Amino acid sequence: MNENWNGILNVYKEAGWTSFDVVAKLRGILKTKKIGHGGTLDPEVTGVLPVAVGKATRLLEYMEQAGKVYEGEVTLGFSTDTEDAQGKVISRTPLLETVSADRIDAAIASFVGEIEQIPPMYSAVKINGKKLYEYAREGKVIDRPARLITIKSFERTSPVSYDANEQTARFRFKVACSKGTYVRTLSVDLALKLGLAGHMSQLQRTAANGLLIDQAISLETIEKMRDENRLSEFLYPIEYAVSDLTKINLSQAQAEAAKVGKKFDQADFVALSALTTDKFAAMYDNQLVAIYMKHPEKEGVWKPSKVLG
């Protein structure tokens, strides 16, 4: 592995690959174990998969926590056990006529903000040490605690298309959401809000960690760039891993103090008094120096949770 390969790759994940498959393939291409992805995509979901390489792997936890943007399609008229187009049909509500766009838009608007969501049975969430999809494959349905998620924006992006033969209606959507959001479940819950069975019939992640789908590159391209010794051109700076954190600029003296793990008092930064989150990215000369968090015991004190120097 080239030691200069430290940063974030904007990988386009194709359908049929798991996120783990992509990372395993990249370990072979780049000849390194220091690789990890910043947020799992279901096998049939395509789009942006941020991948940390080298030193950037130290920031994977922040990449996974960052919000994401998805574009997809909801089909109304029947639901499936996996909540997507790959599952088997478990419920039908045949549509004798289309559903009005205004009615759909009103239902969509009700999901914007902080909401509770119950994870789907076909998911990797663990309960009693066992993944939910393992229970599902055994034909079991387990009680799952609801989780708090944030839907930052949610909108219909196409006309409603009605199929009289199938007695279904479809429309496309775009959603920006927090970590832990199951867009499949959001689609099903939206259909239920309309009093109908429904499922997510297609999905693509179009943005994550400040990376956009227009610039995402395939594994084939990455391999080609490696052979041409041009891979560094496609590595984004590690700062992209903390795209969701508030960035606060340090003076040179503060940066030197941060590099050796010094704590800061709230009074040291005017910006800290207005900060509503419990972490911030400490920057110097446009580079990430450290990530600071509120001290768990000392009021008004911030301590480094990760120092990058």
pLDDT of 75? 98
Q: Enumerate the domain spans of the chain.
A: 7-66+209-242, 68-202, 247-307
The single residue of 21, 42, 227, 244 carrying the catalytic annotation is: 42
pTM here is: 0.90
Q: Is 51 in contact with 240 (CB distance < 8 Å)?
A: no
pLDDT of 25? 96
pLDDT of 4? 66
Q: Is CATH 2.40.70.10 the classification given to domain 247-307?
A: no
Q: Is 292 in contact with 304 (CB distance < 8 Å)?
A: yes
Q: Is CATH 3.30.2350.10 the classification given to domain 68-202?
A: yes
What's the fold here for domain 7-66+209-242? Pseudouridine synthase (3.30.2350)
DSSP 8-state symbol, 14: P
Residue indicated by tokens 């922040």: 62
Domains 7-66+209-242 and 68-202 belong to one CATH topology: yes
Gap between the Cα atoms of 240 and 207, Å rounded: 12
What string of pLDDT tens digits covers the 309 residues of the chain? 455 688 999 999 999 999 999 999 999 999 999 999 998 898 999 999 999 999 999 999 999 888 899 999 999 999 999 999 999 999 999 999 999 999 999 999 999 999 999 999 888 888 888 888 888 888 888 889 999 999 999 999 999 999 999 999 999 999 999 999 999 999 999 999 999 999 999 999 999 999 999 999 999 999 999 999 999 899 999 999 998 899 999 999 999 999 999 999 888 777 777 777 889 999 999 999 999 999 999 988 999 999 987
**H-helix or E-strand spanning residue 28:** helix 19-30
Mark whether 42 is an active-site residue.
yes
Gap between the Cα atoms of 34 and 27, Å rounded: 8
Gap between the Cα atoms of 43 and 31, Å rounded: 24
CA-based diameter of the chain, in Å? Answer: 70
